[in-house]
Amino acid sequence: METGLKITQKTNKSIIKNNKTSLGIHINENWIVFCLYEGEEIVNINKVNFLQKKKSTFLLKTIKKYIKSFSKNNLPRNVKVIYYNKTSTLVPSDLFDSKNSLNYLKYNTTIQIDDLTANDLILDEEINNLYIPDTEINNYIFEKFKAFDFYHYSSLILDKFSKEIVYNSSKKIYLNVNDMFIDIIYFDNKKLIFYNSFDYSSNEDVLYYLLFTFSELNLDADKIHLVVCGLIDLESKLYELIYTYVRNVELIDFEKVEGIDSNILKSNILFGNF
């Protein structure tokens, strides 16, 4: 085992008999999660937790080690790479100019002149989500699989939450509790009004950022509909703390999958589906 590496691995739900599988690789500087699917069903989940933040070269080494566990004839057919980094910014399509991609990013992240940007067109093509993917990781995945998709994680959760809003008049705040960071998203009339991500180290941090967002958006904590998901449940201290200040709290149901570690799966709303 690598120094500074702690691996959490669970057994397959079923024996994979062919290569008609899909692989989702979720990449963060503190962890990597490998999700294997047959069709739309997850059959294996493998989380690698790092004891400290890791650089790109170490992340790539971890990915290579996992990919090498497959035989040449049993490689996943479809691959999706999801980046969990802070090098992203949202730009309305009406204001977007691809020639200025790095300029959009320079206001909220450190950039290099030779950085290559990527762009996810989301929310019915109304928003461009600009970010900097890892070129070395992308090159390796392309070399192994020839074709794959990659996204910034915020593109996927914004689209996912948007599609869950049924009524145009709905006003909802989403709190997505990840491992060491949270996302707060506000939709009004199915339009994205606010999105931001915050690092946290305690439950009180989460509550502070949530109530601060309410204040900035002039939202009434007694009336707004708050939807929570991720590392939170009805029995958690975090849920109890939030419910002390916010009365209308909805927890997104988590469907357990036999043979899959529930604690890993429920910790991120994106892990369950390819």
β partners of residue 89:
130
Q: Does the pLDDT of residue 18 top 70, yes or no?
A: no
Cα separations in angstroms, 11 against 22, 26, 42, 245, 256:
17, 19, 12, 40, 15
C-alpha distance across the termini of the chain, in Å: 28
| Residue 72 confidence (pLDDT) | 84
Domain ranges of the chain: 88-131, 158-251
Under the banding of pLDDT at 50, 70 and 90, the label for residue 17 is very low
| Residue 4 confidence (pLDDT) | 39
- Nearest residue to 269 (alpha-carbon basis) of 182, 176, 150, 184: 176
Spatial distance between the Cα atoms of 228 and 101, rounded to a whole number of angstroms: 32
Under the banding of pLDDT at 50, 70 and 90, the label for residue 10 is very low
Claim: this prediction has a pTM higher than 0.85: yes
Q: Are 255 and 13 in contact (CB under 8 A)?
A: no
Lowest mean pLDDT among 33-42, 97-106, 129-138: 97-106
Q: Are 155 and 120 in contact (CB under 8 A)?
A: yes
| Residue 2 confidence (pLDDT) | 35
Chain-centroid distance, C-alpha 141 = 19
Lowest mean pLDDT among 125-129, 197-201, 258-262: 258-262
C-beta pairs of 193-199 under 8 Å, 24+ apart in sequence: 193/217, 195/90, 195/154, 195/158, 197/86, 197/154
Helices 203-216 and 237-245 meet at what angle, rounded to 10? 30
Q: Does the pLDDT of residue 11 top 70, yes or no?
A: no
Q: 93: which 2 tokens?
A: 């399509």
Spatial distance between the Cα atoms of 28 and 196, rounded to a whole number of angstroms: 17
Topology at the third CATH level for domain 158-251: Nucleotidyltransferase; domain 5 (3.30.420)
Kindly tell me the sign of the dihedral angle through the C-alpha atoms of 57, 47, 267, 25: positive
Give tens-digit pLDDT for 93-122. 999 999 888 889 988 777 777 788 999 999
Can you list the alpha helix ranges (DSSP code H) found in 116-261?
135-145, 153-164, 203-216, 237-245
Give tens-digit pLDDT for 173-213. 999 999 999 999 999 988 999 999 999 999 999 999 999 99
Spatial distance between the Cα atoms of 44 and 172, rounded to a whole number of angstroms: 33
